[in-house]
Amino acid sequence: MINKVKIVFILSVVLLTACTPKKTSVETNKSSIDVKIDSLLAKMTLREKIGQMTQINLTVIAKGSNKWSSNDTMEIDPVKAKKAIMDYKVGSVLNTVNNLAQTPKTWYENISEIQKFAIDSTPIKIPIIYGIDAIHGATYTDGATMFPQQITTAATWNTKNAYNMGAVCAYETRASGIPWNFSPVLDLGLDPRFPRQFETFGEDPFLVTEFGKAIIAGYQGDDNNIGHMSKVAACMKHFTGYQATISGKDRTPAYIPDNVLFEYHIKSFKAAIDAGAKTVMINSGLINGIPVHSSFKILTEILRNKLGFQGVILTDWEDINKLCDRDKVARNRKEAIRMAINAGIDMSMVPYEYEEFIELLTELVKEGQVEMSRIDDATRKILRLKYELDLFNNPVTNYKDYPDFGGEESDKLAYESASESITLLKNSNSILPLKKGSKILVTGPNGNNMQCLNGAWTYNWQGKYTDLYVKGVPAHLVNKATKEGILKNSLISKNLSPKNYTTIFESVSNVYGENNVTYIPGVSYKRGGAFYDMVEDDIDQVVKAAKSHDFILLCLGENSYTEKPGDLNDLNLHELQIKLANKLSKCGKPVILVLNIGRPRLISEIEPFMSAIVNIYLPGNLGGIALADVLSGKVNPSGKLPYTYPAYPNSLSTYYYKPSEVQNNAQGAYNYVGELNNLYEFGYGISYTNYEYKNFKLVNDTLNANDTLSLSVTIENTGSIDGSEVVQVYTSDLFASVSPDNKRLRAFDKVFIEAGQSKDVLFKIPVSDLSFYNDENINVLEKGAFSVHVGANSKDLISSNFHVK
């Protein structure tokens, strides 16, 4: 029998008060859990233990023609489920059918059916653990709240928004009957070419670390009581160095020295481990020629032994097979399984040929190629996770106990994050905000498109059905609606309530009046094409219409994508978008460029002709409304770039570059001048008001290694509008045994300051934070001279020197 637990989830517009839930009846005494695990392990057969290490895709046990795809209507096939769960003892299931979002009711009914096979029909009675990618909301749940993507959240520079996203996502994922979320992404978003930069919290290790800790607290609760029915087990990913590829493309090789790995890539994961993250997913690529899934060094020596991670290590999609099939480090799949399990993998996201995985791993154990102790260790960790999630008492949560699912308060929190993230990059002659009564022409492929506002992982892997879902089309009909190319009233379910979400055009129309706002796309994304494919509609029509409007709102950017389908060969905006922009720049009307992008696409060719530039990133379902409020002046923009915005294709660098990147050495016959060409600096973003930094003070300019660097600065709002400013603190090591970074972010604080008022901002930074990993991969703090910088971005700073003894 499935236990039902009534959960009360209270939301506040300012902060989620459910962050500290009441204790449930979950067993919290670790020694007592250990006793239960020991007792259970002693009863388990080898097949049952290996089954716990096996995760399959839902389509394998769903009704349909084959294991790779199923019917659009989610329904469990009892014959397939019996084979997988009862005969092969599979312990985990993930994903949805055909990448389609389902209602909470559908999720509950199907996961309940799965649990009956695991609990009611097996002697060992171990519940299935269900996992899902809920990336900026409950991705595969119809009606779920969609927050801004992680990169957009980072642009708020306010970790409260990451916490709130995590808490709402956890609640709504549990409302779907799912206790395990494959999130957050703690990779560094180093490379704008990479197709998953938008899933990160930006390029800086400190920024990623702080936002990572916040979202994990939202997912798991401040006390990590994941048995609470509004919390989930987080899965930090993708350990490690995943987005530092040479090619800039997904799942391709990276070459990272150990000291670089520890100095930049591992820090966010270490902080997440210390914060209590329960599980981790592994980098699908290679580091220094070795697939991470086969690396004993990375998985056991570093992750387990050095970082102290005691949770479950999960593969990514089919990555054990790829050791043989793709990377050619294993002669066959059996050898691939041996390498991965011995390296430290606890659970394989198989996801289809589970029979092969289970049988081959069984052979390896019986042959002595994988020790029984390794199997027991992995099984123990998986069982602990299931006990901590309270799955033995409550294997599936009931959607009826979640009255706040998809509620107004959650939407308010998503709106706050979206409005706080919007980054004003240019505002010539203070053209923004636009006065009421203005006649506005909205144009560009992103101007009337919910899919573009959200990006991938929105009701679908690639996010391609978003416009249908928000209008109330049920999951089993979205493919029909897409094929027909039209939205018929007959396809809209009476059982679903269409959300009041609006596109940029619709949102601006609501603010400025339908009679004052016109939409003509000019260019569009090709229906059924790749994310980068575009078609020209009628650019001349847009140019003609511009003559009768006061302002042009040019909405450019990207269509939705993620992972390998999002690989690109040209970082420039599509040539048709550039063509539209250039044509409009000659109309004699002010052009406000709205960038709706998951990564910084190059705009240097058109930037000089834009009167204003607003980066909205991927702001989610409330992004159109948030943008309209910024354009009208209802919201004073306060977002800051969480990455460096490059100017040219061969000018890709983080703000913490090495000194040799910039040189001024033209002597004799040789010119060794070097420069970086950024369009906008990391941390950059302007406001409708102005801020003045003054009275910068250090408490002490001579410090010991165990001291704290204390500093203060006064920020004055010299304008006539209230606003929030992100105060950023950087340090520079002036000389070091390893060429030091140009500067590194050490602290930040977002402060609200009324017009004409000032605020004193204080920072305390442990001197030990200034240490670095040297060429022997030893974390050292070297004596000498340092600079500390304070300012509104990584370039415009006031500085002071100090000395470490």
310 contacts: CB under 8 Å, gap ≥ 6: 304, 381
Selecting among 316, 346, 390, 404, the annotated active-site residue is 316
Residue 152: how many other CB atoms lie within 10 Å: 31
Q: How many alpha carbons lie under 13 Å from residue 210 in its C-beta half-sphere?
A: 20
Residue 764: how many other CB atoms lie within 10 Å: 11
Q: Quick check: is 316 catalytic?
A: yes
Nearest 10 degrees: Cα torsion 273, 37, 348, 227: -50
For residue 366, which phi and psi values (nearest 5 degrees)?
Answer: -65, -30
CA angle 290, 292, 294 (to 5 degrees): 75
Nearest 10 degrees: Cα torsion 611, 590, 198, 743: 0
246 contacts: CB under 8 Å, gap ≥ 6: 252, 253, 254, 255
Which amino acid type is present at position 681? E
CA dist 237 and 314 (Å) reads: 10
Q: Which two tokens stand for residue 115?
A: 């649990």
Are the C-beta atoms of residues 393 and 1 closer than 8 Å to each other? no
Q: Which two tokens stand for residue 476?
A: 């089993």
Nearest to 391, CA basis, from 134, 136, 40:
40
Chain mean position to CA 673: 38
CA dist 92 and 72 (Å) reads: 21
Strand, helix or coil for residue 31: helix
Residue 620 φ/ψ region, left for φ over 0, alpha for ψ in the -120 to 50 degree band, beta for the rest: left
Q: Which two tokens stand for residue 30?
A: 């670790």
Q: Regarding beta strands 612-615 and 423-427, do their DSSP bridges make them parallel or antiparallel, or are they unpaired?
A: antiparallel
Q: Which two tokens stand for residue 354?
A: 């589970």
CA dist 337 and 358 (Å) reads: 10
Give the neighbor-by-neighbor strand order of the sheet with 551-557: 423-427, 612-615, 591-596, 551-557, 440-443, 517-520
Question: Over the range 247-283, which residues count as b (16 or more CB within 10 Å of their CB) and which as e?
Answer: ebbbbebbebebbbbbbbbbbbbbbbbebbbbbbbbb
CA dist 90 and 55 (Å) reads: 7
Sole residue written with tokens 């354009």: 631
Q: Which two tokens stand for residue 344?
A: 């430290």
**Which positions are annotated as active-site residues?**
316
